[in-house]
Amino acid sequence: MFENRQKRTELSELGEFRLIDRLTKSVATRQKSTVLGIGDDAAILNFKKNQVLLSTDLLIEGVHFDMSYMPLKHLGYKAIMVNLSDIAAMNALPTQITVGLAVSNRYSVEALEEIYAGMLLACEKYNVDLVGGDTTSSTSGLIIAITVLGEAPQKNIVKRSTAKSGDLIVVSGDLGAAYAGLLLLKREKEVFEKDPSIQPDLEGYTYVLERQLRPEARVDMVERFADLNLNPTSMIDISDGLASEIIHLCEESTLGCQIYEEKIPIDPQTVTVAETFNMHPVTCALNGGEDYELLFTVSQSDFEKINGQAGFHIIGYMTDTVSSKNLISTSGEAIPITAQGWDGLKNKETTRET
């Protein structure tokens, strides 16, 4: 659908070392903690007094992304975002990444450069250093394994397990849009496969498409929390849908919860798309995934700090009834939250990040 390669250099023309050089030639380092970046057997980092956070994510072609609708540059950008989001979810700032790449000869050097352009754009925007990686061949498809490091003073770090009963449950932005974007892209792919002369009809859906193709990790929230002098009591990023993430917070904190359907922030474009596909918009928010917003809890005594703040949506509260995690519907009915399939998504395909 997005095929427009002009020049094609085969990977075999370059060989591993020249490929690495070509992909990393414009890499600069910015972080104080980066002592030595790409080029030696290992990077050297110095975090002084801060705690170091470390997380890794694997992205597999055909499982987590589909090349037929994922532009290469966006793929690179998103691969970084998925990782930065995990560090933001600890209330820490990302500092370095390494990139493991396994690539089949189906990919040209130019295609990999395009992926790297997206990655480096993300690194620049979020002030993260690319300090190393590994490059090897794959017999089928593309595998991207990214490891991210972050740092934070120990007192700022927020875990999943430390929510308290009565804490308010808050979301940093609207949910379900990335899934709505995916629904549209899949539909257009099917149409295109049946008749390649039909142009994609994606007019008017920029927001949900961007949420799917070019998500932003909420690293900005880490700074917001600092500005507000607010430490969430627990936090997780929303990669798999609100339902599964709220269950994680409850289980790790040994608590229950009550969230309110009418409080879940959903963009009007998401509502339109969901309705087109005969889905309840709330299902997209609960089970769609890939929103990369933050889900966190705050003590009731901090209510004034977040009250009226743009982008903070209070959707419910934690309870000490471990066995009940409920969604209160608009009609007042209590529906138990399950990780998959509050309704229509039971047969959802597995093309999503984890």
Tell whether residue 112 is a contact of ligand ADP (CB under 6 A): no
Neighbours of 36 (CB within 10 A): 14
User: Hey, is 189 helix, strand or coil?
Assistant: helix
* Strand-strand pairing, 256-260 and 325-328: parallel
Measured from the CB atom, the residue of 144 and 255 that comes closer to Mg ion is: 144
Determine contact, residues 130/77, Cβ cutoff 8 Å.
no
Comparing every residue's Cβ against Mg ion, the nearest one is 134
Nearest CA to 352 out of 141, 147, 65 is that of 65
Tell whether residue 134 is a contact of Mg ion (CB under 5 A): yes
- CA distances 252 to 60, 234, 247, 287, 296, Å, are 28, 10, 8, 20, 13
Q: Which residues contact 113 (CB under 8 A, 6 or more apart)?
A: 22, 23
Tell whether residue 101 is a contact of ligand ADP (CB under 6 A): yes
**Shortest Cβ 306–Mg ion spacing (Å):** 46
- Site size toward ligand ADP (CB under 6 A) is 14
Tell whether residue 15 is a contact of ligand ADP (CB under 6 A): no
Binding partner of 241, given ligand ADP, Mg ion, none, CB within 5-8 angstroms per partner class: none
Neighbours of 201 (CB within 10 A): 11
- Alpha helices (runs of H) in 51-195, residue ranges in sequence order: 72-88, 109-126, 177-194
Determine contact, residues 138/205, Cβ cutoff 8 Å.
no
> What is the C-alpha separation between 296 and 246, in angstroms, rounded?
9
Tell whether residue 175 is a contact of ligand ADP (CB under 6 A): no
**Shortest Cβ 132–Mg ion spacing (Å):** 9
Binding partner of 41, given Mg ion, ligand ADP, none, CB within 5-8 angstroms per partner class: ligand ADP
Find the binding residues for ligand ADP in span 24-43 (CB under 6 A).
24, 38-41
**Shortest Cβ 41–Mg ion spacing (Å):** 9
Tell whether residue 132 is a contact of ligand ADP (CB under 6 A): yes
**Shortest Cβ 45–ligand ADP spacing (Å):** 13
Residues in the chain: 354
> What is the C-alpha separation between 64 and 278, in angstroms, rounded?
24
Binding partner of 99, given ligand ADP, Mg ion, none, CB within 5-8 angstroms per partner class: ligand ADP
Token readout for 342 is: 């509050």
Tell whether residue 124 is a contact of Mg ion (CB under 5 A): no
Stretch that binds ligand ADP, among 16-24, 169-177, 280-288, 330-338 (CB under 6 A): 16-24
**Shortest Cβ 15–ligand ADP spacing (Å):** 11
Please report, as ranges, the residues that interact with Mg ion according to CB under 5 A: 134
Please report, as ranges, the residues that interact with ligand ADP according to CB under 6 A: 20, 23-24, 38-41, 99, 101, 130, 132-135
